[in-house]
Amino acid sequence: GAVVSQHPSWVICKSGTSVKIECRSLDFQATTMFWYRQFPKQSLMLMATSNEGSKATYEQGVEKDKFLINHASLTLSTLTVTSAHPEDSSFYICSATGTSGRAVREQYFGPGTRLTVT
Amino acid sequence: QKEVEQNSGPLSVPEGAIASLNCTYSDRGSQSFFWYRQYSGKSPELIMSIYSNGDKEDGRFTAQLNKASQYVSLLIRDSQPSDSATYLCAVNSGGSNYKLTFGKGTLLTVNP
């Protein structure tokens, strides 16, 4: 149990365009989802925390108008990178925690989305 | 500032040996502790969680927690080359949203 999926697994886009990444909890209800970014050979960096039906809470230094997060249901959160630039190229990973079963108190990660902006 | 410290390694052990990974944390109020394994180019995978002082065993993995010393460790018995990965220590300080603070990770290499 406690499976999280992400789509797409990789995406290439042109500078100035927007990209949407989906994160889904497949076998539990995710009351809270987290979005991380990881650059090569660096540690995970938390970007924002989202609770179902509420506005996301962004970490210091993360532009909320650039990284739009929507958590409209208990199984789906989306991250939209708006007006992407090459420096936004990174590995974006979501995680989720839920209200029942193994997902209580534990964060389970999706497989990640590799974004390349050309 | 809540901090989680890990030795970055690399930690190199021969196949079949015990690998010992260590982690300290700064927030004395921390309540939940986790070990994640991350292979190169992949996302983290939860391998152990521990909530109370003492040892918790799961297969070849044993997590140890000492809240008085603010110390958590992971032992991997009979290490295999497939255990070669970066191990991330993560700590939750008890917030209702289960936000985690991660260490920078220890790179483990198991040599055949």
Best probe of the A interface among B46, B98, B101, B106, by most A CBs < 10 A, is: B98
| pLDDT tens per residue, range B92-106 | 977 667 889 999 999
pLDDT of A72 strictly over 90: no
Chain A residues touching B3 at Cβ < 8 A: none
Radius of gyration of chain B (CA): 13
Chain B residues touching A46 at Cβ < 8 A: 99-100
Contact B42 A51 (CB under 8 A): no
Q: Distance (Å, rounded) from C-alpha B21 to C-alpha B74?
A: 5
**Chain A residues within 8 Å of chain B (Cβ atoms):** 32, 34, 43-44, 46, 49, 51, 91, 93, 97, 105-112
Q: In Å, how far is A50's CA from the nearest CA of chain B?
A: 9
Q: Distance (Å, rounded) from C-alpha B95 to C-alpha A30?
A: 16
Reading across the β-sheet that carries B61-66, which strands appear in turn?
A: B4-6, B19-25, B71-76, B61-66, B54-58
Q: What is the pLDDT of residue A1?
A: 61
Q: What is the pLDDT of residue A52?
A: 85
Q: What is the pLDDT of residue A102?
A: 62
The stretch A109-116 carries a mean pLDDT of: 98
- Which pLDDT band, with edges at 50, 70 and 90, does B27 fall under? very high
Best probe of the B interface among A33, A44, A92, by most B CBs < 10 A, is: A44
- Which pLDDT band, with edges at 50, 70 and 90, does B107 fall under? very high
The stretch B6-34 carries a mean pLDDT of: 94
Structure tokens belonging to residue B61: 């993995």
Q: Distance (Å, rounded) from C-alpha B10 to C-alpha B100?
A: 24
Q: Distance (Å, rounded) from C-alpha B64 to C-alpha B21?
A: 10
Contact B42 A108 (CB under 8 A): no
Asked whether the beta carbons of A38 and A91 are under 8 A apart, the reply is yes
Structure tokens belonging to residue B39: 């292979």
CA distances from A80 to A6, A20, A29, A70 (A): 13, 4, 22, 9
| pLDDT tens per residue, range B3-17 | 999 988 899 999 999
Q: Each residue of A58-95: b (16+ CB within 10 Å) or e?
A: beeebeeeebbbebeebbebbbebeebeeebbbbbbbb
Contact B43 A112 (CB under 8 A): yes
Question: Mean pLDDT, chain A, as a whole number?
Answer: 93
pLDDT of B1 strictly over 80: no
Question: Comparing C-alpha atoms, which of A36, A37, A29, A89 is closest to residue A53?
Answer: A29
What residue type is B21 in one-letter code? L
A72 alpha carbon, distance to own chain's centre: 13
| pLDDT tens per residue, range A5-20 | 999 999 999 999 999 9
| pLDDT tens per residue, range B36-89 | 999 999 999 999 999 999 999 999 999 999 999 999 999 999 999 999 999 999
CA distances from A36 to A94, A113, B60, B99 (A): 6, 10, 29, 12
